[in-house]
Structure 1
Amino acid sequence: MALDTQAIVDQLKDATILELNDLVKAIEEEFGVTAAAPVAAAGAGAAAADAEPTEVNVELTEVGQEKVKVIKAVREITELGLKDAKGLVDKAPSIIKEAVAPEDAEAIKAKLEEVGATVTFK
Structure 2
Amino acid sequence: MINTFRLIYRQNPHQFRQFHKCMIRRAESSSAATTEMATSPPQPAPPPPSRADKVVNPKIDKIANDISALNLVEVAQLSDLLKRRLNLPDAPIMPMGGFAVAPQVEAEEEEEQTKKQVQTSFTVKLTGFDDKQKVALIKEIKSLLPDTNLVQAKKFVESAPTIVKADLAKDEAEKLKDSLTKVGAKIEII
TM-score (norm 1): 0.58
Q: 1:44 to 1:58 in 2, by over 3 A?
A: farther
1:115 alignment partner AA: V
Q: CA separation in 2, counterparts of 1:63 and 1:55?
A: 24
Aligned match of 1:89: 157
**Alpha-carbon shift at residue 44 of structure 1 (Å):** 6.4
- Which structure carries more strand by proportion? 1
Percentage of identical aligned residues = 30
1:121 is the counterpart of 2:189: yes
Aligned match of 1:63: 129
After superposition, the C-alpha distances for 1:67-102 in whole angstroms (9 at most, x for unaligned) are 111111111111222222111100011101111111
Equivalent position to 1:78, from 134, 137, 145: 145
Unaligned segments of structure 2, at least 5 residues? 1-107
By relative contact order (CA 8 Å, sep 6+), the higher-ranking structure is: 1
Aligned match of 1:104: 172
Q: CA separation in 2, counterparts of 1:70 and 1:45?
A: 40
Q: CA separation in 2, counterparts of 1:75 and 1:44?
A: 43
CA radius of gyration, larger in: 2
Unaligned segments of structure 1, at least 5 residues? 1-41
1:59 alignment partner AA: K
